[in-house]
Homo-oligomer: A and B are copies of this chain.
Amino acid sequence: MRIDHAFLFDLDGTLVDSVYQHVLAWKEALDSEAIDLSIWRIHRKIGMSGGLFTNQLLRETGIDITGEKSDRLREEHARAYRRLGAQIRPLPGASELLGWLSDANIPFAIATSGRMETAAVNIEALGVDPKSFPIITRDQVKYAKPDPDLFIAAADALGVPIENSIVIGDSVWDMLAATRCRALGVGLLSGGYGREELRDAGAMRVYEDPADLLYHIDEIGGRR
């Protein structure tokens, strides 16, 4: 009896170097609606579902984000992101890691809180064939991270049990979602969060970036 692991990847900050552009794009969007929020607090919410993000905003700033304002925020963020994120690059080792998993016949998928509109650009930057593995986006589930729905849908698309899955992500939301669905969370520092934050949120192991993870992949269920 052995466990055959599947790998479920977050996208922004985990495979592509796009977190800081998202952060400043949200800052621009919030400024345009005269919502004052420090940038580090935005950083800490990246990768979280938009609905929970606006709920937390309400709690922290007392500003109620109604449906219309929420739509404007999302549009303004998308506009600013397209400008700031013109040259999004894969993180070091990202393409090699996915290529290695393919060659080793280890199933993997991508599960992102972003929408397909943004995700498609990022996946193109990775230089992998998006038809060769499942990509689950915000459009396909009711609740995004830290709810585990995205990862559960990804495991389902692969036909593997979620309990045998390793969730790789850069944010505490990925780690919480992993814990909540009985997957194992593995953290990467490449989104700019601290090692202890990720550990604190349940990461069984933390690596620097995809290259560092590939170097240590035997530790978490990849056999060379």
Residues of A within 8 A of B (CB): 17, 19-21, 23-24, 27, 31, 36, 38-40, 43, 84, 87, 89, 91-92, 189-197, 209
Contacts and interface: CB of A to CB of B under 8 A. Distances in A.
Given A19-B40, A20-B24, 20 more contacts: A17-B38, A17-B39, A19-B39, A20-B27, A20-B39, A20-B40, A21-B24, A24-B84, A36-B89, A38-B91, A39-B192, A40-B189, A40-B190, A40-B192, A43-B192, A193-B194, A194-B197, A195-B196, A196-B196, A196-B197
24 contacts: A17-B39, A19-B40, A20-B20, A20-B23, A20-B24, A20-B27, A20-B40, A20-B43, A21-B24, A24-B24, A24-B84, A31-B87, A38-B91, A38-B92, A38-B190, A39-B192, A40-B189, A40-B190, A40-B191, A40-B192, A192-B192, A193-B194, A194-B197, A196-B196
Contacts of A17: 38-39
A17 to B, nearest CB: 5
The interface centre, meaning the residue of A24, A190, A191, A194 with most chain B CB atoms within 10 A of its CB, is A194
Q: DSSP class of A's interface residues: helix, strand, loop or mixed?
A: helix
A147 to B, nearest CB: 24
B191 A194 contact: no
Nearest to A91: B38
B38 A209 contact: yes
A4 B28 CA distance: 42
A190 B39 CA distance: 8
Contact of A194 (B36, B190, B196): B196
The 5 A-B pairs with the shortest beta carbon distances in the complex, nearest first, are A194-B194, A196-B196, A40-B192, A20-B39, A194-B197
Contacts of A209: 38
Contacts of A197: 194-196
A166 B9 CA distance: 43
